[in-house]
Amino acid sequence: RKEVEQDPGPFNVPEGATVAFNCTYSNSASQSFFWYRQDCRKEPKLLMSVYSSGNEDGRFTAQLNRASQYISLLIRDSKLSDSATYLCVVIKGGTSYGKLTFGQGTILTVHP
């Protein structure tokens, strides 16, 4: 089983739609969680951290369920510029702290 698993998509949605991505992780000792965004042939960029209490940044909402080892990202009112690959990222604790483990990414295409 992969350490971090995501539905690869692709998700094709019209502008203004709401779309949700899911991610599961296998290591219960994982300590930190993030969503990154990667545009084609570019480096990943941090979108937001994910906290157990849930957090929101504008149109983006992230949720973490430690009991189910599940992370989600909700994008409301999709824009054309949201088209990208969204990467679920986990950091394990202990001596592995600092090492980012990436999911395979979920491709989102927002069309007019």
Partner 1 sequence: GAVVSQHPSRVICKSGTSVKIECRSLDFQATTMFWYRQFPKKSLMLMATSNEGSKATYEQGVEKDKFLINHASLTLSTLTVTSAHPEDSSFYICSARDQAQAGGFTDTQYFGPGTRLTVL
Rounded-to-integer distance, Cα 109 and Cα 13, Å: 6
DSSP label at 90? E
Is 98 near partner 1 (CB under 8 A)? yes
Nearer to partner 1, 27 or 76 (CB): 27
DSSP label at 35? E
In whole angstroms, the minimum distance from the beta carbon of 37 to partner 1 comes to 11
Strands 106-111 and 11-14: parallel
Out of 43, 53, 81, 112, the only residue in the binding site for partner 1 (CB under 8 A) is 43
In whole angstroms, the minimum distance from the beta carbon of 19 to partner 1 comes to 20
Out of 33, 37, 75, 105, the only residue in the binding site for partner 1 (CB under 8 A) is 105
Are 91 and 101 spatial neighbours (Cβ–Cβ below 8 Å)?
yes
Binding site for partner 1 (CB under 8 A): 41-46, 87, 98-105
